[in-house]
Amino acid sequence: MIEKSIYEDYQIDFDDAYNSNDAYYFIFNHNRDLYLVNNNLPESFDDFNIEFKLYIGKFKTKDVFVINCSEENSFFSLEDVYDIDKDIYLMATRAVLIRDWYISHQFCGRCGTMTQIDEKDMMLKCPECGQVHYPRIAPAIIVAIRKGDKLLMAKHSYHKTHKYALVAGFVEAGESIEEAVHREVSEEIGIKIKNLKYKRSQSWPFPNSLMLAFTAEYESGEIKVDGDEIVKAKWFSKNEIERYDSDISISDWLINDFIQNNP
């Protein structure tokens, strides 16, 4: 994962009193793919029939806009953008969530009236019932559980690659993130853990998660998987771990952290 802060290159702003002669454009299509020209961001959108354009602040000293259109050519998946340019990817993780928010809240979810964009805040409000609609982020936990010099990994039925992965899951309404970790581990693997430690987080726009990464130690119980969501789970020594193809995710960072701290 990228360890630098998005704010090293980005100044958040949503006031439309911008001066946009010098700008970068994050142009997405209907598949959430990003347009790049010569592996860089375009500085014009003249070639596109655009559906909307939103000012979101300054990126590397230029005004930065999110745009949506329906074209397909020269667009790259977010994973491909990560391989092409890490700085653009990091900014795109925010830009794509702003795009999704704007598209998804054109009408009020409570009463169906067409919403209006706020002048100062990144907010769509309903002129009829007053409901406000902000970009939606879904917090999720991921945990590296250690038992001696081994790491717990599980095979999820929904993973396309069928590789072993760390235990992860969404935070449920009403629970703390720590409670979410204990519940997910108990539900998916059937064991108890101790010494839960928060490590770091990552915005994960697939589609809209905030990943909160933890480490923990095995406490008690036998591995027992449900056979439905989790097919198998077992303890891996560092040499047995099958690494991912990409280091894009915080999951890879946690596995690397385990290996580095297991000399």
Interacting residues with Zn ion (CB under 5 A): 108, 110-111, 113, 126, 128-129, 131
Q: How far is the CB of 106 from Zn ion (least distance, A)?
A: 12
Task: Kindly report the number of other CB atoms within 10 A of residue 127's CB atom.
Answer: 10
The span from the CA of 13 to the CA of 38, in Å, is: 27
Q: How far is the CB of 117 from Zn ion (least distance, A)?
A: 14
- The sign one gets for the Cα dihedral 39, 208, 73, 122 is negative
Closer Cβ to Zn ion, 92 or 126, answer by number? 126
Q: Which residues pair with 200 in a beta bridge?
A: 213
Q: How far is the CB of 146 from Zn ion (least distance, A)?
A: 49
Exposure of 121 in the CB half-sphere (CA atoms within 13 A): 8
Continuous H helices in 141-209: 177-189
Contact (CB, 8 A) for 63 and 70: no
Which residues, in sequence order, are CB contacts of 176 under 8 Å at separation 6+?
none
Task: Kindly report the number of other CB atoms within 10 A of residue 251's CB atom.
Answer: 20
Closer Cβ to Zn ion, 37 or 129, answer by number? 129
Q: How far is the CB of 115 from Zn ion (least distance, A)?
A: 8
- Return the H-helix or E-strand segment holding 104: helix 86-104
Max Cα separation, the chain?
Answer: 63
Contact (CB, 8 A) for 24 and 60: yes
Closer Cβ to Zn ion, 109 or 207, answer by number? 109
Task: Kindly report the number of other CB atoms within 10 A of residue 40's CB atom.
Answer: 11
Closer Cβ to Zn ion, 62 or 125, answer by number? 125
Q: Using DSSP, state whether 99 is helix, strand or coil.
A: helix
Number of H helices, E strands in the chain: 4, 16
Any idea which residue has 């003249």 for tokens?
46
